[in-house]
Structure 1
Amino acid sequence: MHDETGEETYAVLDGLRLHDPSRRGFASDNSSGVHPEVLRALAQANGGHQPAYGADVYTQRLQAELADVFGVDVDIFAVFNGTGANVLALQALLPRWGAVVCARTAHINVDENGAPERVGGMKLLPVETPDGKLTPELLDREAWGWGDEHRAQPLAVSITQTTELGTCYRPDEIADLAAHAHELGMKVHVDGARLANAAAWLDVPVRAFTADAGVDILTWGGTKNGLVFGECVVSFDPGLGESLRYLRKMDMQLASKSRFVAAQLLAMLDDDLWLRSARHANAMATRLRRGVDLLPAVEVTQPTQSNGVFAILPPGVADRLRQRFAFHDWDAARREVRWMCSFDTTEQDVDDFLAALEEELVRDGG
């Protein structure tokens, strides 16, 4: 059947499906659906009554399981989304006059519509990096001016694991950066929207580059790895718990039926689903990268260390290819694009995309 625009729609028993569920692209891991095991967990958490606002048995179980994952006592705060998680975590670290040093490409700087500054009330101090990663030396470019009332005080550093460029911090890199930040009197936040992809690529326990590395607070992502919605702020600093409790409500990130956020996150921990899904997404990106490396007209711009491939294409190729597969420009001025793989990306998806890319390059003369 078709709607009035001529687009084909897909009838289902209890309604109308408006998309082709067999069609997948490379635009974002946010574009993927929900993992079937997560959907089952939601159904199992349904029915009956449970206390609201995080007092339910699912949230209590999540607290215990995350303490086991990270090897230390933690305070956890389930939230709706990644931007809310980042704002909440950074607010807990800073006084009203505080500032955050981050990479220029950081999600908090370029993709959150000023929420950290407008909602969180903090100043961001971005630093240019070649690969999305901060180092102690790069931190020092903006970590100065303490006691100067004319300058927002740099009291926190935020890093993304994996970075927005698909690169991954090694545990020792985070440990060195955290130690330097702490020497300067700064706290360390990790935006872990793709934390699972980092753990899968590094093949080490996640605690090795979080709690053991000196991280103070973490936003643990789930949406990009198969959840319907939901992230979790994990604090390793026991002094932050009370602030987070009140700030979460103020930031409109406290779900009344929070058992359904916790149930999804518990499903991800069950039998290491979060790592299994991330390993698969990473493997599909590696497969894509290997195929792209065989095409001399394509210039890959970053190491492939997670589930994304970044590349520069000849003029016009991206626009034609996008008629067949969804993906985004990363830097349109230099014709750089980003291809993201997900937990549900298949080998056939990758091979079909590579075949289409090669056809467009041949058409282009490349």
Structure 2
Amino acid sequence: MKRLLTGKLPLDILERMLKRYSLASSKGLLIGPKIGEDCAIIDLNGSCIAISTDPITLASDLIGYYSVIINANDIAVTGIRPRWFTVSILIPERDANEAILESIFSYIHRACNELEIELVGGHTEITAGIESPIVIGNMMGVGKREDIVPTGGAMPGDWIILVKDISIEGTAIIARERPDILRAHKIDEAIIKRATDFIFTPGISIVEEALFVRQIARPHSMHDITEGGIINALYEIALSSKVDILVEIEKIPIYSETLSFCEIFDIDPLGLISSGAFLISATKEDSQKILKELADRSIEARAIGRVLNRGKGILYIKDRDGNKKKIDAFPRDEIIKIY
């Protein structure tokens, strides 16, 4: 049997597992297990609870901070404010000391405090058989049914909007995990320091931006960009919405730090983990309003493509020479190349 690669499951395998083993949907389940949908949405007699879960396995020094923000982002792009957080913390035997626990808990506290989220429970243990800490977060929030924005709601004719630049998270991980290699390639210390702080500025949270968009408009779809970068996030929108999408590559902004780092590690930034940015699918009218309102608040956003038609979830790109071609999803995130 073929050995699977590190990272997310291939979409075709995940889809088979979900079709084969998901139970019949209950009456109150509005959004359940599905490609591209990062939250379950359950109807509670008019109100809805959104529930997300994500493990953090790559970012070692700020793993507690990541665990809150990444899960909060998943909730926020549904149009619901994240409120409550539970967490399971697994510490490898070789790192079992109070200092590492202090670091993880302090960064969980910092992130929760920034977003007014309450830590309501969890589990912590020393675990055999793992090499680095693993933090598995679960986020919850409550909102109105009419506020819900799914990933799979994109419609033909919609504009595709990118909010903030891509690869914020990936750039920060490279700076934090491989500064020695960056220095060996003559990357200036000030650039490494600036990229290290990308976690906080421009930041990997998109909670307030996503909730603001939902407040001023009625987007058909919103989706945060995580593993597999912007290409895989676009694929997830296309597959879950059953539409084909065209994106213009030259309209996707990439930080100079990102480009420099990616060249060193032979990384394609379009497939690099990108928490800190998210995608919107909305009508032309709503898109124009969203772009104007975000610009008025100095939040970077631009239209990068459009939804073409109902289809099988095909993603096309138009390159800098105007050529249109189909592009495949990345089999795993490009960040793996630094390890």
Scaled by the length of structure 2, what TM-score is found?
A: 0.24
**Higher strand proportion (structure 1 or 2):** 2
